[in-house]
Structure 1
Amino acid sequence: MTYNIFLVDSPDPGVMAQALAAILQVPVKEIDVADADGDPDERHWEALVSCEYSYVQGNLSYSAEIYAQDSVPHQPPEAQLSAALAERIGTPVLYPPTEAPESAHWLVTPEGLTTRARLDESEDEDPSYTVTAVEAFVRQLPDVPVRHLPEVVREQKVVTPLTDAFAECVASLPEAERSEISPDAAEATRVVTSYLGAWEKLSRRAENGWEPSGWFPLEFYRETLGYRDDIEGYLRQLPGKLQALYRNYLDKVDDLYRELTVEDNDHVVANDKGVPVTHLAQKPWWWYRRPEPMPWSE
């Protein structure tokens, strides 16, 4: 298994070797910790675990690629190894998320705090790596702003059982019926399935209290309402039977949205330009409802 991490402070190679030996449960002599720019003749290439590190510019000091051979019996997930390493060597460790984007790394501190961190890489020939924002205060990075990271919210996985059920119904249509769907109608079906998924995700987030982040940007909220607007146009391109099937699932998601929102009497959602309420153009009903409390409020 390969682990790719960054460290705020750079440890002594011997300290790193002892920490990895304890975490991966192998003898210290089976740990090869080496500078990527060092002499290859001094490497222990047969070691069970190799840790090749580089010193980096920015507010991080050290990047490392750790490789454990298949014969190493204890190979914890990246999150677990990073937390154990941070505690043992006394500095925060950053590791990449399983989802995109790569910029929003996980960060774990020696005290056990786990948060998300925006990691920017410069485009220089010798790039620097800088943590430019974190979602919780990190004592070892006192000058880094603490703020929500919208890119984390966008990439979170949300279950959509109603959308999945509709997609399964489409996939299970008899071959004769599927062959009658024109290319344009097939593309419209793909689009409305995607938009239904986005619409359902919004309601499922509200249903689950906007976890795991606990917030949701108003910009993303309005974006999703725009997808709900667009559904109506695409829906007219579907064959009658498919249109009725889709409408059945859409109605269920609409009902869920109504149940989880309240009347937006102040037009917080619809009034994205800050114009007087009397000047607002009429929008569909979903623009005049909002969650309570509003997940974009601090």
Structure 2
Amino acid sequence: MSTGEERDAIRLAESWEAHVEKIDRDRSLPWSDRTVWNEYDLCAALLIRDRLESAIRKLPEPVASKMNSYATGADERFMSITVEDSGKRMAAVAKIDLAGQGWWWFRIPDSGPIIEDLARWSRFEE
């Protein structure tokens, strides 16, 4: 039987994976499509990844290692559909300090509507 912490970690890993899949699918859609996600949805995905990281840290070994392995699939997909970024725009969107934050905060999609939305935040890159 799973503990509450394990169930939380599993739900967060599934949510992270679903968010990455949606971000990936949206990259081929036009900005005008009313179903596409925006920069705030990306922010929500990154916050889920934060919570997943925290949940994994609370798990005992070997469960933590198994959860890390599970999360790696979504992490690799996220890496493959994103490019490095300063993180300044996402910090402004999330209204957080990125000091000490995970690598995912420093990546943005390589194409798609989220990029168009983030263009409005370019003043934070200066």
**CA distance in structure 1 between the aligned counterparts of 2:98 and 2:108, rounded to whole angstroms:** 18
Question: How far apart are the structure 2 equivalents of 1:188 and 1:284?
Answer: 21
> What's the counterpart of residue 123 of structure 2?
none
Cα distance in 1, alignment partners of residues 95 and 71 from structure 2:
31
The residue number in structure 2 matching 1:240 is 61
Shift in CA distance, 225/217, structure 1 to aligned 2, threshold 3 Å: same
Give 1:204 deviation, angstroms: 0.9
Say if 1:199 and 1:227, in contact at 8 Å, map to a contact too: yes
Classify 1:206/1:240 alpha carbon distance in 2 versus 1 (closer, same or farther; 3 Å). same
Alpha carbons of structure 1 residues 292 and 236: separation in structure 2 relative to 1, 3 Å: closer
1:192 matches 2:9: yes
CA contact (8 A) 1:203 1:260 kept: no
For the pair 1:231 / 2:49, whether they are aligned, the reply is: no
The answer to whether structure 1 residue 288 and structure 2 residue 109 are counterparts is no
Work out which of the residue numbers 36, 39, 44 in structure 2 matches 1:215.
36
- Any residues of structure 2 matched to 1:52-131 within 5 Å, and which? none
Greater percentage in helix: 2
Higher relative strand content: 1
Moved over 4 A (4+): 210-214
Give the number of equivalent residue pairs.
111
Whole-angstrom distance in 1 between the partners of 2:76 and 2:104? 11
CA distance in 1: counterparts of 2:16 and 2:94, whole angstroms: 23
Based on CA coordinates, which of the two structures has the bigger radius of gyration?
Answer: 1
SS of the residue 1:256 aligns to: helix
| CA distance in structure 1 between the partners assigned to 2:95 and 2:67 by the alignment | 35
Task: Report the CA distance shift for 1:293/1:267 in structure 2 as closer, same or farther (over 3 A).
Answer: farther
Cα deviation per residue 1:55-90 (whole Å; 9 max; x = unaligned)? xxxxxxxxxxxxxxxxxxxxxxxxxxxxxxxxxxxx
Cα distance in 2 for residues equivalent to 1:229 and 1:253: 14
Letter paired with 1:195: L
2:98, 2:105 within 8 Å by CA — same for their partners in 1?
Answer: no
Equivalent residue letter for 1:293: S
Instruction: Return 5+ residue gaps in structure 2 as ranges.
Output: 118-126
Secondary structure of 1:270's aligned partner: helix
TM-score, normalised via structure 2 length = 0.71
TM-score (norm 1): 0.33
Aligned counterparts of 1:193 and 1:287: Cα–Cα separation in 2: 21
Query: CA separation in 2, counterparts of 1:225 and 1:231?
Result: 10
Give 1:274 shift.
7.6
Structure 2 letter corresponding to 1:236: R
Structure 1 gaps of 5+ residues are 1-177
Looking at structure 1, the residues matched to 43 and 23 of structure 2 have their Cα atoms a distance apart, in angstroms, of 14
Identity %: 21
| Counterpart-to-counterpart distance in 2, 1:291 and 1:266 | 12
Higher relative contact order (CA 8 A, sep 6+): 2
Q: Is the 8 A contact 2:90 2:105 kept in 1?
A: yes
Match of 1:206 among 23, 28, 33: 23
